[in-house]
Structure 1
């Protein structure tokens, strides 16, 4: 069996590197997630974006990080002008190939390196990537979003690692996931001192095997709202899913909408 152990994801002490996301999203993990999310789920999430933000036809939308472009492509199919930004060269390449004939641009860059010209009608950060960064990095990212979105524009954030969602009844049980010929063994550990979840994955496809670790930093809803308010985002709505159900203790995810008012 061909085996790749991602040693670069760890410091000398065995703790995952804070910049784990730089090398995590290679072809095998990306292909798994491309297969794992049904098209109907993407459509429901984009429905929420359009409905809650009141997007007019042809709105300019920033999707960051965009991954393989599932939300960017759906937004573009609905007539919006989309810019997707992601640090994974493999994901951006896949998105560009899938975007033929659509008004969408994909940029290979860090999620904090977005245009801060106030030219976007809306920004979306979907797919549970809002918790990738430590607090200082998250502050920088939210400041970038505040610079990118025009006054009156909107924002949607998807966060599955909100403290109110993840901590009640937290259990780190191993899971086995399959999509076609890709199998994933997933295990989790809550790092109390770091207020973060360490998610370890073993991806297997035929003779390929890849061991990688992701970090999701845990923030309270109040922390997130405060960060957004400090960068001009108010009129916050909190939802537990794309249908608009309320977000409460133990909700599996937090979908937050906001409006840039200053």
Structure 2
């Protein structure tokens, strides 16, 4: 994957953070007293927003610049948010959280091997208390199979983003490339093509695959959506796949 920096704050989708947190609270029927783990939290946009609403939140990310930013913002605002700089695969919480989040992919499918990608689901299940709930927001393999390759533009208040998607059926991975055009900056000429940078891509899953993976770890799917919106049902015609599940324990 490409190196991540705080420039990501200018991406158009960052502007939807409050609405995404609204969705989490509604979909999981949270009361405000839950302890939340935000895996691959990035610069802490969901962690901080939940903390502003009174939740005790722990954000974990491998990028030190992001964690430093989260620490600073939490300190400035006096929020109950803890930030830990760590590879999410090294997280060892055991039944400590009421909610675990993997928002905006949350590193799901980002690793080079199937074993590593599945280990992240172990981390999720281990961190949840029995009865605890999980939300993941990922891109849908069903959509990729049906609709890739494709491109689309997304406009925000600070930038315009071009996303380019391809599908590797042999590896079940999405190859994503993009450009961000920030408003107010001089635009240099660029090619219509994206150079091949050797990125292996992100492992995507169908809803059926995720159901099996979660069941093996004692989680049962509560609902699946095609956006961070309870009115939008999951469908192969939706790029987003948002899955809410609950830890029920593994049957002997």
TM over 0.5: yes
1:89 corresponds to 2:76: no
Q: Is the 8 A contact 1:32 1:179 kept in 2?
A: no
* Count of residues in Structure 1 that have an aligned counterpart in Structure 2: 234
Q: Which of 208, 224, 236 is 1:238 aligned to?
A: 224
Structure 2: distance between partners of 1:141 and 1:164: 21
Tell me the distance in 1 between the aligned counterparts of 2:154 and 2:96.
43
Measured after TM superposition, the shift of residue 222 of structure 1 is: 1.0
Contact 2:161-2:180 at 8 Å conserved across structures? yes
Contact 1:199–1:214 (8 Å) recurs in 2: no
Query: TM-score, normalising length from structure 1?
Result: 0.79
CA displacement at 1:163 relative to structure 2: 1.5
3-state SS of paired residue (1:112): helix
Match of 2:96 in 1: 119
Does residue 170 (structure 1) correspond to residue 143 (structure 2)? The answer is no
| 1:224 maps to 2:203 | no
Distance 1:76 1:178, change over 3 A: closer
Equivalent residue number for residue 139 of structure 1: 118
Distance 1:79 1:214, change over 3 A: farther
Q: 1:131 to 1:177 in 2, by over 3 A?
A: farther
**1:46–1:75 CA contact under 8 A, matched in 2:** yes
> Could you tell me which residue of structure 1 aligns to residue 82 of structure 2?
105
Alpha-carbon contact 1:225-1:236 (below 8 Å) kept: no
Mapped contact 1:157–1:255 kept (Cα < 8 A): yes
C-alpha contact 2:148 2:166 (8 A) present in aligned 1: no
Matched, 1:249 2:236: yes
- How does 1:196-215 map onto structure 2 within 5 Å? 196-201=173-178, 213=199, 215=201
Give RMSD over aligned pairs. Answer: 2.7
Deviation at 1:176, TM superposition (A): 8.8
Contact 1:166 1:250 in 2 (8 A): no
Structure 2 CA distance for aligned equivalents of residues 112 and 187 of structure 1: 28
TM-score (norm 2): 0.81
Moved more, 75-84 or 169-178: 169-178
User: Quick check: 2:36–2:57 contact (8 Å CA) kept in 1?
Assistant: yes
Change (3 A) 1:200 1:248: closer
